Amino acid sequence: MHSLKTPGDVQQLVSAQEWQTRVDLAACYRLIALHGWDDLVFTHISAKVPGTEDFLINPYGLMFHEITASSLVKVDLEGTKQMDSPFEINPAGYTIHSAVHEVRHDVNCVLHTHTAAGVAVSAQQVGILPLSQQSMFVLASLSYHDYEGVALHADEKARLQADLGLSHYMMLRNHGLMTCAASVADAFLMMFIFQRTCEIQLMAQGSGTALSEIPKSILAGTQAMLAGVLRSSTGMGGALPWPALLRKLDEQMPGYAS
């Protein structure tokens, strides 16, 4: 393994493809902070290193707004660091992310949050309700995983994998939200939609009036259409807003690409 003396060393030691993944992943961490979806140093986002089974994840102890491309930690599926780093990784983060990367070879990014809205809806037995257009995207590819405590036990991985199946959205009951996608941009856009779905549901439920659910016939048609979109090479279309999101980030929280 290499000993790193300065952040600039990392870019010299990795491929151009890995460096671009690092930049995108660091930007995603900053965007989560910018939207207020972070949870101090907890929760996690991972991205697969192109052409390998290794993945990048946050250095445990840094706030999301501090994370840079160079500071991300590279580990293999066993959780062993593949490049020297002064930081360790979140053990629960390793369990969840390695579980997905082990079995979902179509997934290059996994994003997990503990937002108040997400956890609140995850505590509802009904889960996501078909109340909004946003919810249609989520319901097209949604799975649930029951809470088993802090994800520190390796034997939970098999159950999480089975529950996830081929879905792109997962609600971790009593815990939070997770998205998995072919790119960092897609995973972020999916989380934006998932988070907004939960916020709308809570606002609607708190209105004190009868709710109008989208009919199952419309939901079925929408699910079929969106399932096709999810299987397409462009995924959920995260590449469309991603450059604009990076411009916003460059204005308000620069430095992620270092």
| pLDDT tier at 154, thresholds 50, 70, 90 | confident
Would you say 136 and 65 are in contact if contact means Cβ atoms under 8 Å apart? Answer: no
Closest CA to 233 of 194, 189, 182: 182
157 contacts 163 by C-beta, under 8 angstroms: no
pLDDT over 60 (residue 3) = no
Classify residue 165 by its DSSP letter.
Answer: T
Residue-wise pLDDT for 89-143, tens only, equals 988 888 899 999 999 999 999 999 999 999 999 999 999 999 999 999 999 899 9
In the predicted structure, residue 229 carries a pLDDT above the cut 80: no
Domains observed in the chain:
7-252 (3.40.225.10)
Q: What distance in Å separates the CA atoms of residue 192 and residue 179, rounded to the nearest whole number?
A: 10
Residue range 171-213, pLDDT digits in tens:
999 999 999 999 999 999 999 999 999 999 999 999 999 999 9
Task: Return the higher-pLDDT residue of 219 and 230.
Answer: 219
Beta-carbon-side half-sphere exposure of residue 26 (alpha carbons within 13 Å): 24
DSSP 97-132: HHHHHHH-TT--EEEEE--HHHHHHHTSTT-S-S-S
Q: Are strands 169-172 and 142-145 parallel, antiparallel or unpaired?
A: parallel
Say whether pLDDT at 164 is over 50.
yes
Look up residue 237 and give its DSSP letter.
-
Helix (H) or strand (E) holding 197: helix 184-205
Which DSSP string do the residues of 130-156 spell out, in sequence order? S-SHHHHHHHTTEEEE---SSS--TTH
